[in-house]
Structure 1
Amino acid sequence: MNYNGPTIVIDNGSYTTKAGFASEELPQMVFSSVYGQAPDTNGEIIIGDDQLLSNPSVEVMTLLDDGFIYNFDGVTRNWSHVYQHLDNGAEVNSNEYPLMLTEEPWNTLKNKVTATQLAFETFEVPLFSLVKTPLAQLYQTGKSSGLVIDIGAATTSVTPILDGIIQSKASFHTKYGGDFLNLHIAHYFKGQIADMNQLIPKAFQSSPSSMQNYYITRNIIHDFKVSNTPDYYQLASKNHINVNGFSYIDNLFTPSHHSLPGVEIPMPVLEKPETQGLLDLVFSSLKALESTCMPAINGDNNTPNRFARFNEILKSILSNVLITGGTSLTPGLSELLILEMRKISPNYFSSYGFNQYYIQPVINHQSGDINEIWEKLFGGWKGASSLATMLNDTNDDSNGTNIALENWFITKADYQEQGEDLIAEKFK
């Protein structure tokens, strides 16, 4: 069975939602994943940065926590917004197009079931799919094995992928991402100015705290991060903040190095990857991969064959280190991470004869090139879209079986017949 219409792909990130037809090279819609809700407007929902900034009195609500959806009422509005504006601002019928969503590897079965119910029962899509974000990100680079380091807004994750299969027992994540860095930047800025009102325009000085935080994050902090100014940062009030010597990237590597008022930052624990900084998270993932892929043979951990086999696995994965996600665009971050990985790798894997220069980043475009920016910002959406286009593949050699339908999508009829068991099997 083949489908002539394109699949709609939605990538709900904690910072932005990317949505579009899989037949397109880039998402047609990119908008803030948060939304506004005013208590005196009978639940009216406001979506989009321009609309939110035009309504400074609203509360700003989020959709995701720890990388996956917790607010399904809000995400229903989010998807409705997509369907209402996807066709160059015009509405499309959700029941006419297959739907593919991205999800993190640690998404729960409960959330998968709820998302599937929402797709089939509320939006009445004919076909539905959930695809793992790191798999999609690696796929769009043309690689089947690699280490995906996704430094996003709400989370940072490290996911080894071997021959197209996520090594789930070695996939770890933390909440130390771009939002965590934003807290440090905001704390520093507040310590440099006497009047907090210098950070926000007059129209927002009576806004709810959620709106004020939204404004500061989306305008001041984001502008500071992309401006890469070496000495002084100029506020809208024309005052300057001295940023000479202020480094915030270090907090990704050592989260507990600087304290934050009102924020408990646990000390890193070896057995708890979620407490670790970026570099330690990477090597915790690789050591877990070692234990998973190379269990002791007859109690012997030191056979030459075992060393050789795991050395080949390490080479296969670390020769394709994909550093992606919006926060990875922070100047100097990717280069510093690769440098530190090479520096410390002999301490972990010297017994395998591992060479530090096996560690190679996936580089398809020059630094600063617009295509590199699109890959890091839209990599999950682009990879999922490439997979979704296989639903329209008419040149299949597998006795008429559509690979995409067989492996990634479920039909509404199958969902109604098999329910949760099918979701657990198909989207495991």
Structure 2
Amino acid sequence: MAYTSPAVVIDNGSYTTKAGFASEDLPSLVFNSNYSIDPNNPESFVIGDEEIDSQPENEIMTLLDNGIIYDFDHIVKNWEYVYNNVDSHSSIDSKEYPLVMTEQSWNTSKNKLATTQIVFENFEVPIFSLVKSPLSQLYRAGKSTGIVIDIGSSVASVTPILDGIIQNKSSFHSKYAGDFVNLHVLNYLQTKTSIESLLPSSYAKASEPFKHYYTSHNVLQEYKNLSMNFQLKHFQLDNQSHISVDDSPNLLLNVINPTLHKLPNITLPEATPDKPNTHGIVNLVFFALKSLQHTLLPANNESSSSHNKYAKFTEIFKELLGNILITGGSSNLNGLPEKILNDLRLSIQEVYSGYAFIYNVQTIRHSSSADPSNEIWDRQFGSWLGACNLANMLNDVSNNEEGIESNSVKIALDNWFVTKADYEELGEDLIVEKFK
């Protein structure tokens, strides 16, 4: 059946949670994914940016690790906050709206089951889907084959997709993303001033976890936002003083080459070929390509079937490298997409010099609009927007006869959604199969 109510879409990122109705152009809620608790009252729970900032004596807690949820006891509060505020800060009844959530491609079966159990048993949603973020973003760009390079707060990932199928064995991720850049920004600013001067005076007696949280989510984020759009020469502190940043290091290079600039008191794992997670984002792309090459190309190319496989390999790589989607909030660092693409082109020409696809390395535009600000929003909210596209299939009805569901609804129900009735009847087996 087609649903008349728009789906609620929730994208839980390590830095922020994005939520809203699928019918909206942008999420109506963007709030901190962290929460705080009173150390003297562990049962307390504070969520929302202004609410957390108003209680600096609290401890700051996280909900996600390595890009996936680990604290299921408290993620419920995050989702309750969405339902209490999603309709212009008014509450809605979760029983009356479909729900779509995003997930990383390396999310575990255990987590999928835990998530599904909560949304059906605690929130009693009528129908639910877990959407793989890179796949939904690529579909939104109008492609079913491509490479999704997603640079978020805590994780940077590379996901090759062939004909709508994520190549999990050729997908890699590392922690050299936005938070890693923050460490370099903080290290640089501390050469100019003390950590205390980066905080408002009202937070002098704040808890140490809150100070770290505030510095990361406000001071360092503001610095990155300014450097993203402007040639920053001076950075204004909360006390209205300024520090010179003319000699600020190139932030982009820390995502490309994590070992280029040393961090005091931090020892990074040695980058080795057998550990892709020790490498920067461009090398992750090459790990993905090499893995696919090993899968697609035969050990020798003497037989006619081998030549056919070689031709197929060339065509697949040409299509993959012609459809590179660079996304994620941290990809908005000024010049980062261009730097990734240029480094990738140079490296591919060196490694694959005999192949025709080396001249075909191109990115996909998120938006057809000429306004560059739309591209920024699309990168920032790409995962949420991609999930909305899928969610809206539930509301599609044919124009021929009112109330008759279209093929889009049937496809969505058959492939991506689970109803509460089906969950109650078939249980875990259905979840494992539908959200594999």
Q: Which TM-score band applies after superposition, normalised by the shorter structure?
A: over 0.9
Q: Tell me how large the CA RMSD over aligned residues is.
A: 2.1
Question: Is residue 284 of structure 1 aligned with residue 283 of structure 2?
Answer: no
* Alignment partner of 2:375 out of 363, 368, 372: 372
Question: Is residue 271 of structure 1 aligned with residue 274 of structure 2?
Answer: yes
**1:216: which partner in 2?**
215
How do 1:395-414 and structure 2 match up within 5 A?
395=398, 402-414=410-422
Aligned counterparts of 2:158 and 2:202: Cα–Cα separation in 1: 41
Aligned counterparts of 2:369 and 2:417: Cα–Cα separation in 1: 35
- Contact residue 232 and residue 244 of structure 1 kept, 8 A: no
Determine helix, strand or coil for the equivalent of 2:418. strand
Aligned counterparts of 1:377 and 1:36: Cα–Cα separation in 2: 25
Cα offsets for 1:223-279 (capped at 9, x unmatched): 111112443323223031434252222111221223334433111111211111111
Distance 1:230 1:30, change over 3 A: closer
Moved more, 385-394 or 333-342: 385-394
Query: What amino acid maps onto 1:217 in structure 2?
Result: S
**1:202: which partner in 2?**
201
**2:234: which partner in 1?**
232
For these two proteins, the number of residue pairs brought into alignment is: 425
Query: What amino acid maps onto 2:62 in structure 1?
Result: T
Determine helix, strand or coil for the equivalent of 1:128. strand
Aligned counterparts of 1:264 and 1:136: Cα–Cα separation in 2: 36
Aligned counterparts of 1:368 and 1:71: Cα–Cα separation in 2: 39
**1:340: which partner in 2?**
343
**2:80: which partner in 1?**
80
**1:419: which partner in 2?**
427
Measured after TM superposition, the shift of residue 140 of structure 1 is 1.6
- Contact residue 18 and residue 30 of structure 1 kept, 8 A: yes
- Contact residue 19 and residue 30 of structure 1 kept, 8 A: yes
Measured after TM superposition, the shift of residue 301 of structure 1 is 11
The TM-score, its normalising length taken from structure 2, stands at 0.92
Deviating beyond 6 angstroms after TM superposition, the runs of 4 or more aligned structure 1 residues are: 297-302
Question: Is residue 322 of structure 1 aligned with residue 325 of structure 2?
Answer: yes
**2:362: which partner in 1?**
360
Distance 1:300 1:177, change over 3 A: farther
**1:147: which partner in 2?**
147
Aligned counterparts of 1:65 and 1:59: Cα–Cα separation in 2: 17
Aligned counterparts of 2:369 and 2:347: Cα–Cα separation in 1: 26
Aligned counterparts of 1:368 and 1:188: Cα–Cα separation in 2: 33
Determine helix, strand or coil for the equivalent of 1:386. helix
Distance 1:402 1:366, change over 3 A: closer
The TM-score, its normalising length taken from structure 1, stands at 0.94
Aligned counterparts of 1:368 and 1:329: Cα–Cα separation in 2: 15
Query: What amino acid maps onto 2:153 in structure 1?
Result: A
Question: Is residue 118 of structure 1 aligned with residue 126 of structure 2?
Answer: no
Aligned counterparts of 2:173 and 2:216: Cα–Cα separation in 1: 23
Measured after TM superposition, the shift of residue 167 of structure 1 is 1.2
Q: Structure 1: any 5+ residue segments left out of the alignment?
A: none
- Contact residue 137 and residue 380 of structure 1 kept, 8 A: yes
**2:90: which partner in 1?**
90
- Contact residue 298 and residue 306 of structure 2 kept, 8 A: no
Moved more, 127-136 or 387-396: 387-396
Distance 1:372 1:250, change over 3 A: same
Aligned counterparts of 1:7 and 1:245: Cα–Cα separation in 2: 44
Aligned counterparts of 2:275 and 2:54: Cα–Cα separation in 1: 43
Determine helix, strand or coil for the equivalent of 2:292. helix
- Contact residue 188 and residue 248 of structure 2 kept, 8 A: no
Measured after TM superposition, the shift of residue 63 of structure 1 is 0.9
Aligned counterparts of 2:191 and 2:325: Cα–Cα separation in 1: 36
Cα offsets for 1:8-37 (capped at 9, x unmatched): 110001111111111222211111111121
Measured after TM superposition, the shift of residue 38 of structure 1 is 1.3
Amino-acid identity (%): 46
Measured after TM superposition, the shift of residue 300 of structure 1 is 6.9
